[in-house]
Amino acid sequence: MERSLRLLLLLIGTLAIIHIAQAQSQQGFISLDCGLPPNEPSPYKEPRTGLQFISDATFIQTGKLGRIQANREAEFLKPSTTLRYFPEGTRNCYNLNVEKGRNHLIRARFVYGNYDGLDIAPTFDLYLGPNPWATVDLQKQVNGSRPEILHIPTSNKLQICLVKTGETTPLISVLEVRPMGKDSYLTKSGSLKFYYREYFSKSAPSLRYPDDVYDRQWTSFFEKEWTQISTTSDVGNSNDYQPPKVALTTAAIPTNATAPLTNVWGSVDVGEQYYLYAHFAEIQELLANETREFNMVLNGKLFYGPVVPPKLLITTVLSVNPDTCEEGLCNLQLIRTNRSTLPPLLNAYEVYKVIQFPQSETDENDVAAVKNIQTTYGLSRINWQSDPCVPLQFMWDGLNCSITDISTPPRITTLNLSSSGLTGTIAAAFQNLTTLEKLDLSNNNLTGEVPEFLGNMKSLLVINLSGNDLNGTIPQSLQRKGLELSYQGNPRLILPGSPTKPQKTKVLVPIVASVASAAILIAVLVLFLIFRKKKTSAVQVVHPPSSRPAMDYTYATPTKKRKFTYPEVMNMTNNFERVVGEGGFGVVCHGTVNGLEQVAVKLLSQSSTQGYKEFKAEVDLLLRVHHTNLVSLVGYCDEGEHLALIYEYVPNGDLRQHLSGKGGKTIVINWGTRLRIAAEAAQGLEYLHIGCTPPMVHRDVKTTNILLDEHYKAKLADFGLSRSFPVGGDSHVSTVVAGTPGYLDPEYYHTSRLGEKSDVYSFGIVLLEMISNQPVIDRNRAKSHITQWVESQLNGGDIAKIMDPKLNGDYDSLSAWRALELAMSCANPTSAKRPTMSHVVIELKECLVSENSRRNMSRGMDSLSSPEVSMIFDSEMTPRAR
């Protein structure tokens, strides 16, 4: 057994040597000098590191070349003296080939250097595919910014995007990608954002390639309470992490041999999670009676121990689960054990923050197909970069996508390439869009025959080929039932059965058998209704005449959603005995259906400002939607002048009552519950915007329309003003302005153009109410509208003056600031600058995580009190234990 283990370790050591050789050869490295002029050599060797840099020109199709001011070039060495800037488009992206499923170090460098002579450093966002990575603010970081992450790509393509967020122009100087060891830097979830990477030596230079085979950048660090020890011997570093050998030849020990060796780091965000990697090697010659042994204690709790560093070989100790730090301060202590004769030592350590990239990329087969189509036809649309579907605000022109949730890859359902100058034949890549429902290739210059594969795409419902120069016979497969085919304006196209005479004016392919079947079905249905009327006329109830048509619906589940008679409504409410609310529609009464299910019965009064149109709109909507955060419709009554909506009963009333304390609601909703309610209400709106077909806009989002069930779960209500809005190129619909003053989108009010961002504005006002518990409009305030009042308070920079006093300061200030910034972003007067509800949901959930982390720590319920740790030893010594 021992011999086998030695052979295995020898093999591991040999593989490690091979891997080091590959790393030393820069295999898989991507080193881009962004904006390198075409007249300068590419590739070139950077003299300090020996890294081979190349121009970024083949990795991005947009942007312009720039160079920092000549008087500043001495401050920055090549490749940071050139840059690429992006005056056009909102999102500009690099496309890189990487190894799927392998950890990669991704590092970007941004240097302004007053390249444009304006002396206005830009601020912009950096995205990794569809997910935000970092905000680059070169006004604060005057010497440049260098964000870095360790990330495992989910496909063989990696998109790194610069996103314009204001008036300034994004730029980039250097982009570097390094494949890492396949078993290194693994996390439970998320990626790792660089925080610290240090080795312990006095006045030593920073290290990177070739000292570090993965080109990690290490800085030297030393405290005055420490003493440096060192060795001239070679130190083995062959494990999954392979820190530089030179970094292991020095170490820090406490000058007071009985004191712990302490490292402290902190963050303003107390909810942040960290992964720690500590590297140890014994570099002193120990006498026979000397022992070095110590425990690792993180925030007062045993992290790992005892540690006995092996002589001239590396040991790496790391957390398998992420750790959080109390009050944003992390304290790592190395404390010698009772049997140790020597103080603890530390050679090097790394700290990373967890960063989540929750939004799934679009299905990789769909992405490959649409990019193949883009290449085939030479399409150069400015926003056809990075992920086609997400984020929603960057969805490619001409596309629509099916987006279920952030964890499910979106699918492309609509592709509109009308009037796009397409030439040649219909590309075979279209058939790889297997969920495509609508394809518009009209008004181009396409030639050749209509391919058979279009008819075999079972998901396709609409195909528009009109206005091209296609020829030949239309395939029989395109005459299937349920498919709408437009092909006018192709004079050389021939229908099956008409081989000598092309059809010129037909728009839809005739489906004779289907038409005949439909005619027979209609005839049978008419006869059925006639006979049914005769049979039931003897018991028919005649109601007073009405100027409006009666409503009738057929339900898939008639026991849950059905039409009630007025006597049934009277019975279920016990003659309207218990009134539980009143609004513009009329009174709301408590009732029961079948003596079991509690319901709320909303009665339309004759004096109501809302009428039959709003009543029908609400019934129409609630019969076809279902979401846990939308109040569900049990049924309705439409009998003469008696109109009623029967909802599920939501016992805790509306959110406004709880904030104001009216209606007997005296319990103060804490900050965490408010965030959860806000996130749930946002999820309901998100469903209306992207989960419905067609999408819906609520049009009357306010705190009185957010109801709370027995568990304080939020349910959005009152859909009488809801309207559908178009998808595709137009994102708004013109309509008569309606809504509630104070919550009403000012842009919609002035233009009558209604869109989903109108709901986002109203939700922003709701969120400000939840944060501050201030009236939306208060004429007694100097700043009467809540947004104006918040802006005036923000000038002081004290969030406590904005937060609801009823909370008594019991909230996570960082999550409060983040929620406030989100609310003001939603309430931006310009709709284009507001986020989508999907983005709002993500932000609120992250705020909630931060608040819950604070509450858990304050209760002493830190779930990470006993973190798993992993020890990684030199491969020549012993296998790794987890």
- For residue range 18-37, what is the model confidence (pLDDT) as tens digits? 344 444 569 999 999 999 99
Give residue 496's pLDDT. 67
Across 721-808, the runs of DSSP E, i.e. the strands, are 723-724, 732-734, 753-755
Numbered residues of the known binding site for ATP: 602
- Three-class secondary structure of residue 601 per DSSP: strand
Structure tokens at 745: 């989108």
Confidence of residue 583 (pLDDT cuts 50, 70, 90): low
N residues, the chain: 882
Position with higher pLDDT, 628 vs 865 = 628
State how far the Cα of 88 lies from the Cα of 433, in Å rounded to an integer.
Answer: 30
% of the chain at pLDDT higher than 70 = 83
Give residue 725's pLDDT. 60
Give residue 597's pLDDT. 83
Report whether 441 contacts 417 (CB < 8 A): yes
Backbone angles phi, psi at 25, to 5 degrees: -85, 5
- Over residues 419-473, the pLDDT tens digits come to 999 999 999 999 999 999 999 999 999 999 999 999 999 999 999 999 999 999 9
- Over residues 804-822, the pLDDT tens digits come to 999 999 998 889 999 999 9
Out of 700, 745, 804, 874, the active site residue is 700
State how far the Cα of 610 lies from the Cα of 227, in Å rounded to an integer.
Answer: 80
Across 77-170, the runs of DSSP E, i.e. the strands, are 82-85, 91-97, 104-109, 123-128, 131-137, 148-151, 157-164
Give residue 554's pLDDT. 31
State how far the Cα of 581 lies from the Cα of 160, in Å rounded to an integer.
Answer: 53
Buried/exposed code over 367-386 (b: 16+ C-beta within 10 A; e: otherwise)? bebbbebbebbebeeeebbb
Give residue 522's pLDDT. 52
% of the chain at pLDDT higher than 90 = 59
Q: Check if 638 is active-site.
A: no
Position with higher pLDDT, 637 vs 555 = 637
State how far the Cα of 342 lies from the Cα of 334, in Å rounded to an integer.
Answer: 12
Confidence of residue 651 (pLDDT cuts 50, 70, 90): confident
Confidence of residue 694 (pLDDT cuts 50, 70, 90): confident
Residue 438: its H or E element: strand 438-440
Give whole-number Cα distances, 380 to 61, 163, 385, 858, in Å: 9, 18, 10, 54
Report whether 116 contacts 110 (CB < 8 A): no
**pTM for this model (two decimals):** 0.58
Going from the N-terminus, what domains does the chain have, and what CATH number goes with each? 26-180 (2.60.120.430), 192-357+869-873 (2.60.120), 364-513 (3.80.10.10), 548-649 (3.30.200.20), 652-835 (1.10.510.10)
